[in-house]
Amino acid sequence: MSFRYSFTVFLFFILGGCEQLLVNGLGCNWGIQATHPLSPDIVVQLMKENGIDKVKLFEADPRAMQALGRSGIQVMVGIPNDMLAGIASSVRAAEEWVSRNVSYFLSTRGVDIRYVAVGNEPFLTTYNNRFTQTTFPALQNIQAALIKAGLGRDVKATVPLNADVYQSDTGVPSAGNFRSDIHDLMVSIVKFLNDNGAPLTINIYPFLSLYADPHFPVDFAFFDGTASPVVDGSTTYNNVFDANYDTLISALEKNGYGSIPIIIGEVGWPTDGDTNANTQLARRFNQGLINHINQGTGTPKRPTPPDVYLFSLIDEDAKSIEPGNFERHWGVFYFDGTIKYPLSLEHGRNLTAAKGVRYLQRQWCVMSPDANVMDPNLPERINFACTYADCTSLGYGSSCGGMDVRGNASYAFNMYYQTMNQRRGSCEEFGNFSIITRIDPRVQGSSCRYEVMIDNGRHERVRNPGTNSGGNILCSIVSWGFVLVLIVCCYLI
């Protein structure tokens, strides 16, 4: 497809997230698919210190919800896709979910719940219609349950949708309409949301336009000007965000709902796992987005800026990487709440790192200086490490992608060692190939980080990263595949 309409179709998407940047506050998706998650109390304090007053959760995690109680942060709480069928088929199930996850936390814990996100991008083409029949009934049942609980005016049900639910056949925003295979369903959902005073929630990812199309003009993904604008009659679009958003507005106008409120549920830029995923481009995009929204000018079709939920707050090393290795690196902050790159927020506010984080001992598991990089058993050891730990930073074009075999092995061994909470014997599992050191292996000037994990008091064997998101074996195979290519190349050299 040409770049002129590729911005309206996204075939790859994410299941996790950070949220909204507005003149009146910064919001963020908070995902918890991590082997060593930050304490929810620390995360909530991190949000408050950075002026984040809105957060979107992908599930009603009890610890996260409790930490948000009386925090002053507005909450959108999510229902995972695998729960949609049960809720769609039973009003009672919807009522029980609302009672347990909305009414309870509102009345007992003081959580300021504003929205319920029913599913997450359920109409992705990659789902092959798995959730097409259950999403709308689940939305209806949750809304009915909210009304029955006396919450219908204050808490609204919505459905975060991928931007691939609409498209432009001619490549310009004014030609936007809903995808033909779900057109009638989308109109029904939009009508229902509009009738209940709820917003339409859409996720927009310019990064994925660039990732999916090698001919996509890079500067069109950002907010600082382009040599390849999209001209739509008398309107010129200089960035894909505005063009994509107005494609949605056109689709809504064509179907009689041009004024429905809209929330951008996810938008952001990853920092690792792909050649275009790095801190420089992430800062360029997110700073441009913040400035763009805070200017208050909106888009040509909607002069008022939408609520925007930045994706995401913190990296998640246990997410599925089926869409790409970048999936685990969307955070504005690293997994431990440290700052990746500077951002200027409203009123000149700078990012503030998390406080009170406890770490495991400052030691690393690396390849032994005496080990032979030509040993035929080494690939098997690295494969084992990357099956149980996150090796996505070793991929081509990633932050650790330029190392030699010894560096690759050391990174993999250490990620396994840290993921296993530095458990006694975990470094020794690599035999004579590995050794524990108290000297940071990071090479000066390199972007490659050798982590020391958070000490969250768990010292049991950690599950394979990805098992709680469904990617699992595929994730580890993909991670290892990059490492294997690097090692083979080094052998040939």
**So which residues are the catalytic ones?**
121, 266
**385, 430 contact by CB (below 8 A):** yes
Q: How many CB atoms lie within 10 A of CB 176?
A: 26
Q: 57 in helix, strand or coil?
A: strand
CA–CA–CA angle 178, 146, 86 (5° rounding): 70
d(CA 454, CA 337): 10
**327, 44 contact by CB (below 8 A):** no
**142, 116 contact by CB (below 8 A):** yes
* Pair of tokens at residue 404: 């030699």
d(CA 421, CA 124): 36
Q: Which string of DSSP letters, residue by residue, matches 305-317?
A: PPEEEES-SB--T
Residues near 341 by beta carbon (within 8 Å), at least 6 away in sequence: 271, 279, 280, 282, 283
d(CA 238, CA 10): 19
Backbone dihedral angles phi then psi of residue 112, each to the nearest 5 degrees:
-85, 75
* Pair of tokens at residue 70: 């009386």
Give 451's Cβ-side CA count (13 Å radius).
29
* Pair of tokens at residue 4: 């002129």
Cis upstream peptide for 446 (omega within 30°): no
Alpha-helical segments (H) within 110-182: 135-148
Q: How many CB atoms lie within 10 A of CB 320?
A: 23
Backbone dihedral angles phi then psi of residue 26, each to the nearest 5 degrees:
-110, 135
Q: Which string of DSSP letters, residue by residue, matches 396-445?
A: TTSTTTT--HHHHHHHHHHHHHHHTTT-TTTTGGGGGGEEEESS--PPTT
What amino acid is encoded at 280 in this protein?
A: Q
Q: 387 in helix, strand or coil?
A: helix
**196, 151 contact by CB (below 8 A):** no
**166, 8 contact by CB (below 8 A):** yes
* Pair of tokens at residue 386: 């990357």
